[in-house]
């Protein structure tokens, strides 16, 4: 790669959650919804796409707006938001974009001749008599379409199942004809929601939202966000519309379930909703997911981690990291790393059993300016005991560490560690300043692959822009 790749993999001022990745013509394209910086609801923006060459996952290119909010006939006034989409290649070789508007229960479709050209409205998924899916008596509302096309048929997966709502049964699979709109096989429930999962293998990890589908060999992998929201789980079957068995958790956007470096139930950042999909780039599989920023659920950013599909088809849960698509640890000396790459943001006394730690108390990634301004992200809302963590770095012959900070932190200091609960290797005092200032301290870190953690001790609430190992 020309450069290193990070999490988030897009620029810090871009907010593309719900990422569905695909390889088309030698490039990885990501399709997702579009949040705004300081957004007040989900998915306020037009659909945009980004892509990168398969041999350089650090080199992401903005493809522009591929579908505006008002392109759908039901949304000419742009009052509705475009929720999470998915894309598939039809039998005619064209690219079909499936999506749902936020106030209706039907599936819309747009089409384009190129992966990221200007999509045009195409129609609504409907039964042979013209009734739209989601509007026939007995239909459950449509939400978060995931699609896969094979042998002239398109398999459409949809659904949303909140706790306590018995009117929502689970994830639905619907089969469409070669015109990409007409239903051949009516919806079938393939994974139960929380109200119908008791006594099944899905109990505790029942379907909530975010269907995503891939076929790997002869096995269908159904990825979804579970009832706990922060995790992406998977189920597998040899048939696209039945027989799915629970596989496990692929990733949690707050690392719940990972017990290698912390207690399994400890949340290392704010847990929020999640959505993403699998993609194979070269010989490596990745899971795309998203994280919450700006102290809100409405400014989410895309991340990705490598995964391994074992010989038996299983996928073990992976850690969230700062290096993501890099293919290994980041260079551990001589590079100034932005603080928005932090994958761990927490305070010492956060309740470990609460999936949504109080955002008001948590350090958070944010930016200056307004949405669209290309101002680099940083970490703010740092209080006494707050920890900011980064993973992983190949550290070699490091003897000094420098941070760039601003804000009111007079009398405070940042402790430097290689584990969230590890030995303090250095202390970096900071003072009050309204501009970014560097602060340094000597440090000895053994050569090898390490995490880097900063824990603030003191009064005030400084912000952290970046750091460098020297």
pLDDT digits over 39-78, tens only? 999 999 999 999 999 999 999 999 999 999 999 999 999 9
Per-residue pLDDT at 20 exceeds 80? yes
35 is catalytic: no
Residue 109 and residue 255 in one domain = yes
CB atoms within 10 A of CB 311: 5
CA–CA separation, 413 and 439 (whole Å): 10
The total of structural domains in the chain comes to 2
Lowest average pLDDT, out of 42-51, 236-245, 309-318, 358-367, goes to 358-367
Host domain of residue 399: 330-469
Q: Is the same domain home to 174 and 30?
A: yes
37, 374 contact by CB (below 8 A): no
Cα–Cα distance between 365 and 381 in angstroms, integer? Answer: 9
Query: Domain containing 452 — which CATH number?
Result: 2.60.120.260
| Structure tokens given for 267 | 């949340």
Q: Is residue 163 part of a domain?
A: yes
Question: Could you tell me how far CA 316 lies from the centroid of its own chain?
Answer: 18
Residue 398 inside a domain? The answer is yes
- Does residue 15 fall inside a structural domain? no
Q: Is residue 372 domain-resident? A: yes
**Active-site residue, 18 included:** yes
Q: In this model, does residue 354 exceed pLDDT 60?
A: no
Quick check: is 353 in a domain?
A: yes
Tell me: do 255 and 391 sit in the same domain.
Answer: no
Which of 291, 326, 361 lies at the terminal end of a domain, its last residue?
A: 326
Residues 99 and 237 in one domain: yes
Please tell me which residue in 14, 209, 274, 305 is annotated as part of the active site. 209
CATH of the domain at 75: 2.115.10.20
Q: How far is CA 190 from the centre of its chain?
A: 24
**Do the beta carbons of residue 408 and residue 436 sit within 8 Å?**
no
Q: What does the pLDDT look like over 140-196, one tens digit per residue?
A: 999 999 999 999 999 999 999 999 999 999 999 999 999 999 999 999 999 999 999
Contact 231, 248 (CB under 8 A): no
The overall average pLDDT reported for the chain is 96
Stronger pLDDT, 205 or 359, i.e. the higher one? 205
- The length of the chain is 470
On whether both 125 and 189 belong to a single domain, the answer is yes
Question: Do residues 300 and 281 share a domain?
Answer: yes
| pLDDT above 90 (res 294) | yes
Which of 326, 345, 371 is where one domain is finished? 326
pLDDT of residue 69: 97
Token reading at 313: 């088809």
| 297 & 361 share domain | no
| 355 confidence band (pLDDT: 50, 70, 90) | very low
Q: Are residues 369 and 309 in the same domain?
A: no
Same domain, 161 and 301: yes
Same domain, 275 and 338: no
Question: What is the model's pLDDT at position 142?
Answer: 98
C-alpha 333/C-alpha 58 separation (Å) is 19
- Active-site position among 14, 18, 35, 195: 18
Pair (237, 181) in one structural domain: yes
Least confident of 163-177, 306-320, 355-369, 408-422: 355-369
Looking at 326, 356, 378, which one is the last position of a domain?
326
- Quick check: is 10 in a domain? no
Confidence band for 358, pLDDT divided at 50, 70 and 90: low
Question: Residue 255 in contact with residue 320, Cβ under 8 Å?
Answer: yes
| 151 in any annotated domain | yes
Residue 14 lies in a domain: no
276 and 423 together in one domain = no
């Amino acid at each position: 790669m020309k450069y290193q790749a990070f999490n988030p993999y897009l620029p810090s001022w871009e907010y593309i959650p719900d990422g569905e990745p695909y390889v088309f013509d030698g490039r990885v394209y990501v399709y997702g919804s579009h949040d705004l910086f300081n957004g007040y609801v989900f998915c306020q923006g037009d659909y945009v796409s980004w892509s990168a060459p398969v041999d350089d996952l650090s080199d992401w290119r903005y493809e522009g707006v591929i579908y505006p909010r008002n392109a759908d006939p039901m949304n000419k006034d742009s009052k509705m938001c475009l929720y999470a989409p998915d894309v598939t290649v039809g039998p005619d070789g064209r690219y079909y974009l499936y999506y749902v508007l936020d106030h209706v229960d039907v599936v819309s479709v747009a089409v384009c001749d190129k992966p990221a050209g200007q999509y045009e409205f195409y129609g609504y998924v409907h039964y042979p008599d013209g009734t739209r899916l989601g509007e026939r008596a007995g239909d459950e509302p449509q939400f978060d379409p995931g699609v896969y096309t094979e042998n002239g048929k398109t398999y459409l997966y949809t659904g949303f199942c909140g706790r306590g709502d018995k009117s929502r049964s689970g994830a639905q699979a619907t089969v469409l004809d070669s015109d990409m709109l007409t239903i051949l096989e009516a919806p079938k429930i393939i994974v139960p929601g929380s109200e119908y999962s008791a006594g099944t293998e899905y109990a505790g990890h029942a379907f909530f939202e975010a269907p995503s589908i891939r076929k790997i060999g002869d096995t269908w992998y159904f990825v979804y966000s579970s009832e706990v929201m922060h995790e992406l789980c998977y189920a597998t079957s040899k048939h696209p519309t039945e027989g799915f068995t629970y596989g496990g958790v692929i990733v949690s956007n707050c690392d719940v379930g990972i017990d290698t470096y912390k207690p399994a139930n400890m949340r290392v950042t704010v847990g929020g909703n999640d959505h993403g999909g699998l993609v194979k780039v070269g010989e490596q599989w990745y899971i795309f997911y998203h994280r919450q920023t700006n102290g809100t659920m409405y400014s989410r950013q895309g991340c990705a981690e490598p995964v391994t599909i074992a010989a038996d088809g299983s996928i073990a849960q992976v850690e969230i990291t700062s290096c993501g698509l890099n293919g290994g640890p980041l260079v551990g000396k001589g590079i100034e790393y932005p603080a928005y790459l932090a994958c761990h943001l927490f305070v010492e006394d956060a309740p470990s059993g609460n999936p949504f730690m109080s955002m008001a108390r948590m350090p958070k990634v944010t930016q200056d300016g307004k949405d669209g301004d290309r101002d680099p992200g940083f970490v703010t809302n740092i209080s006494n005991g707050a920890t900011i963590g980064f993973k992983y770095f190949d550290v070699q012959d490091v003897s000094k560490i420098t941070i760039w900070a601003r804000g009111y932190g007079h009398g405070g200091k940042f402790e430097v560690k290689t584990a969230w609960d590890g030995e303090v290797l250095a202390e970096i005092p900071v003072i009050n300043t309204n501009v970014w200032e560097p602060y340094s301290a000597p440090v000895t870190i053994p050569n090898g692959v390490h995490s880097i953690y900063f824990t603030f001790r003191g009064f005030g609430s400084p912000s952290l822009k970046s750091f460098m190992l020297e």
